[in-house]
Amino acid sequence: MSFYQKQSTDVSRLGLKCPECGVSIEKLPFKPRRGMTIYCPECAKKRKQQK
């Protein structure tokens, strides 16, 4: 186990899908909250860059 590894939460059992592109999300760098809209890493990145 590396101290430097990025933390990621396995969310594959939640069956989450990105509402933007429809890709299934298996891992997140954070714990999802109920009712939270979860985007795939790519769309999350795009949304962060947008204002």
Compute the least distance from the CB of residue 38 to Zn ion, in Å: 9
Compute the least distance from the CB of residue 21 to Zn ion, in Å: 3
Q: Which positions touch Zn ion (CB under 5 A)?
A: 18, 20-21, 40, 43
* Nearest to Zn ion of 9, 41 (CB atom): 41
Whether 17 and 23 have beta carbons less than 8 Å apart is answered as yes
The structure tokens listed for 32 are 């999802």
DSSP H/E element including 48: helix 41-49
* Nearest to Zn ion of 5, 48 (CB atom): 48
